[in-house]
Structure 1
Amino acid sequence: MPQISEKGRSMPSSPVRKLVPFAEAAKQRGTHIYQLNIGQPDIKTPKQAIDAVRQNDITILEYSHSAGNLTYREKLISHYNKLGMNLSIDDIIVSTGGSEALLFAMGSICDYGDEVIIPEPFYANYNGFATASGVTVKPITTSIDNNFALPSIAEFEKLITDKTKAILICNPGNPTGYLYTQEEMDQLAALVKKHDLFLVADEVYREFAYDGREHFSVLNQAGLKNHAIMIDSVSKRYSMCGARIGCMVSKNKEVVAAAMKFAQARLSPPTFAQIAAEAALDTPQSYFDDVIQEYIERRDILISSLKKIDGVEVANPGGAFYCVAQLPVDDTDEFAQWLLESFDFEGETIMVAPAAGFYSTPGMGKNQIRIAYVLEKDSLVKAVNILEKGLKAYLS
């Protein structure tokens, strides 16, 4: 019998989606599930984006340019330049989601066996993208004790070898919600310049910065023209996860030229989704003001409720819409499955994401979960109540 590849065997399962069969079975039994496991906002997509598709009179659904529709790229560049990024049309490639942009970046800057340093816990699919690209992840562990702040630069330097090609960050972070300070971004900028590395910043949650804090983009860092690569997406910003439109942005012409060859190989990003994404750029600031306020209120309710549960420790996110909670259990994979298979409270249960899959270091995160606060506030309160009752039953 023909054998699958070692790459196929080593590709990690999604910690967010691997519990889906157990959730489907629970629903078949009539159990209502509060889904805290996936970053699918319940916020409405801007009307401009929906109308642009609904009212379009396209008669032939053609390929776009491999780098994306020119009108969309021009509009994106204008948007970014209002944020002080000073970009040109040749600095951007539109991708099929932020996921493809990350694959383009890894493929353009790394050879097989090269290393990328990533603060963990991190977006679980970074492990998958690295495996697909033949890249080795070198994790640097952050701690819930200090809210998952950036480790010292000395710790980063211990990991740098002749195989190191880049440092990858998510800002604000998924799964932690950590928002990097200007000082931390300056430290990373100095580090990559010192060791001649790339700094790849996944900034898909950029708008979601709370408590009066500011987001500092990698493309606003001085002196990083040849080092900085930004990954972006419409998925979270406009609640358009299904559109699958993102982009890779860099002022390094060689990086963009290399990524363009990957873009040509997959032909083009989806046409209708680009039309929707272009229209979404006209979304008024009031939309974001309302959404940010809603997420702040959800975060505050969630964090305060979690802190009331005996034995639970939780970090306070400064951005995005996730938090990591540490539970008084040995294995949250088993606990999360148990919640779906064997527990309900008044016909309801919850689905969470075990956090071990957001780490690269074996054994880390086994007693942690990621919670996405993408449900309305009343549902969050009910979900935390179910978590508390579930923990009591599980530990009894």
Structure 2
Amino acid sequence: MTRGTVAPEISSRVRSIPPSPIRGLAPLAEAAKARGIHVIHLNIGQPDLPPPPGVAAALAAAATQPPVYTASQGIPQLLDAWARYYERIGLAISPEQVVATGGASEALSLAVLATTDPGDRILVPEPFYAPYYGILAAAGVELVPIPAPERYGPVTPQAIQERLGPRTRGILLCSPANPTGTLYERDQFAAIAELAREHGLFFYSDETYRELVFRGSRAASALEMPGLEQHVIVIDSVSKRFNACGLRIGALISRNPDVIAAAVSLAELRLSLPLPAQLAAAAALEAPATYVAEVVTTYRRRRDAALAALARLPGVHVVPPDGALYLVAELPVDDAAHFAAWLLTDFTHHGETVMLAPLSGFFATPGAGRNAVRLALVQPEPVLEHAAELLGEALARYSGRTT
């Protein structure tokens, strides 16, 4: 008798990672394109703006250098560039307090692995950048959601305090936030940071969009909070403010030497980051302040155009963002995830459709965000206005529309 074979299974760790609301509909979009439909992508924060001019020059120069291993912490040129960049925006760090990473996602992954054990918990305001969930799950860490107040405003220290427990290791905050553009005022930010100090927690501050704010020069930074030198771990990236997503270069910054040593030890497991990308990122970080100011001006114009266009759609409620490059729209539909898929499978208007990111994927709380979507402001104003018109036509035809 031939004994049947049993196929090995993938890990429960991977099975615990939810599908991406940002990329999960990509096969449907590709199928729509194969049918000849033009898809306007508002689902992903892929900036269409050019990076600083020095990036192309650095990449060209890197082509003349041998593709060697580099230091796991990052090449000196890049670490120095990060330190100089922070000095220009009024924050003092040294190159030794920086670990170069494969984008902000690896920075958070290294931070979590360096500071938690399986079964620990990290508190995160909802809605949050969707990959947070998977990064924490892969580390065996529980993401504890802090429900968003009405209209996705900043969460209160009291709401965080109520969810502290013996396995809580830290608080993860993003300001301005992806996906809502919520900006924490300095006193709101400081009050949450102070909770981390009082309870001996790590304060993970995702500052990817720090300067992309529509009022003021920049968002508050955890690096300027007094008395938190041993608690703060900043997550940063050149992807958004310098329009260089494909370089996949970010940074973990901390004044806690044990955190840096642990992060470097973990970084050594992947040996090093690509040399050309590091050189190009160093060039991006040297861009003048006028470059980022122009980027902010562009996104402010786009935000205003999108808000005005969406306000004309019956039943659509938009939450005006104070920063980042996204906005949240609540739609008159039963299920925004189903509607977003329907846009790609069943809807077309003059050969066009729109791709959105369902907001439910940015929550850990079941049922939250069910009727909302995130739109990325990564198209010129006329395209955003046209996309809003398409969205209005789609809502008029959609059978799952609410009254």
| TM-score, with length taken from structure 2 | 0.95
Contact preservation (8 Å) 1:96, 1:270: no
Give the Cα separation in 1 of the matches to 2:232 and 2:166: 19
The answer to whether the 8 Å contact 2:318/2:328 transfers is: yes
Tell me how far 1:270 sits from its aligned partner.
Answer: 1.5
Question: CA offset at residue 57 of structure 1?
Answer: 5.2
Aligned to 1:280: 284
Alignment partners' CA distance in 1, 2:71 and 2:153: 40
Matched-pair identity in %: 41
Partner of 1:25: 31
1:326·1:368 contact (CA, 8 Å) conserved in 2? yes
Out of 258, 270, 273, which is 2:274 matched to? 270
Inter-partner Cα distance in structure 2 for 1:170 and 1:305: 27
- The within-5 A match list for 1:202-221 is 202-212=206-216, 214-221=218-225
**Contact kept? 2:209, 2:323, Cα under 8 Å:** yes
Alignment of 1:65-214 (within 5 A): 65-143=71-149, 145-146=150-151, 148-212=152-216, 214=218
More displaced stretch, 284-293 vs 119-128: 284-293
Instruction: Supply the distance in 2 between the matched residues of 1:68 and 1:357 (Cα, whole angstroms).
Output: 33
> What amino acid sits opposite 2:138 in the alignment?
A
Q: Which moved more, 1:17-26 or 1:85-94?
A: 85-94
Summarize deviations over 1:238-262 as a string: whole Å, max 9, x none: 1111100001000011111111110
Q: Which moved more, 1:330-339 or 1:302-311?
A: 302-311
Q: CA deviation at 1:55?
A: 3.0
- Secondary structure of 1:314's counterpart equals strand
2:45 matched residue in structure 1: 39
Q: Distance in 1 between matches of 2:135 and 2:172?
A: 12
**Which residue of the other structure, out of 9, 20, 23, is the alignment partner of 2:15?**
9
**What's 2:3 paired with?**
none
**2:137 alignment partner, SS class:** helix
Deviations 1:143-201 (A, max 9, x none): 3x34x222222211110001000100111100001111101111112211111111111
Corresponding residue for 1:236? 240
Q: Which amino acid aligns with 2:241?
A: R
CA distance in 2, matches of 1:289, 1:49: 18
Letter matched to residue 390 of structure 2: I
Q: Secondary structure of the residue that 1:192 maps to in structure 2?
A: helix
Question: What is the Cα deviation at residue 212 of structure 1?
Answer: 3.4
Task: Give the residue type in structure 1 aligned to 2:304.
Answer: D
2:51 matched to 1:51? no
> 1:110, 1:165 within 8 Å by CA — same for their partners in 2?
yes
SS in 1 for 2:375: strand
CA distance in 2 between counterparts of 1:84 and 1:41 reads 26
Q: Could you tell me which amino acid in structure 2 is paired with residue 311 of structure 1? A: G
- Verify the 8 A CA contact 1:172 1:318 in the aligned structure 2: yes
Q: 2:212–2:218: 8 Å Cα contact kept in structure 1? A: no
1:250 maps to: 254
- The residue identity in structure 1 corresponding to 2:325 is F
Q: After the TM superposition, which of the residue ranges 284-293 and 42-51 deviates more from structure 2? A: 284-293
Q: Structure 1 214/282 Cα, relative in aligned 2: closer, same or farther at 3 Å?
A: closer
- Contiguous gaps of at least 5 residues in structure 2: 1-6
What residue in structure 2 maps to residue 303 of structure 1? 307
- Count residues with an aligned counterpart: 394
After TM superposition, give the deviation of residue 317 of structure 1 in Å. Answer: 0.5
Amino acid at match of 1:350: V
SS at match of 2:398: helix
- Is 1:334 equivalent to 2:303 in the alignment? no
User: Which whole-Å CA distance do the structure 2 matches of 1:159 and 1:150 have between them?
Assistant: 16
2:232 & 2:210 partners in 1: Cα distance?
A: 16
Give me the whole-angstrom Cα distance separating, in 2, the residues matched to 1:108 and 1:355: 30
Letter aligned with residue 266 of structure 1:
R
User: How far apart in 2 are the matches of 1:220 and 1:158?
Assistant: 26
SS of the aligned residue for 1:334 comes to helix
Q: Which amino acid aligns with 1:169?
A: L
Q: In structure 1, list runs of 5 or more residues that go unmatched.
A: none
**Displacement of 1:104 after TM fit?**
0.4
| Pair 1:62 & 2:68 matched | yes
Report the aligned-residue RMSD.
1.2
Normalised by the size of structure 1, how large is the TM-score?
0.97
Q: Give the whole-Å Cα distance in 1 for the aligned partners of 2:322 and 2:191.
A: 19
Deviation of 1:213 after TM superposition, in Å, equals: 5.7
For the residues of structure 1 that align with 2:286 and 2:252, how far apart are their CA atoms? 21
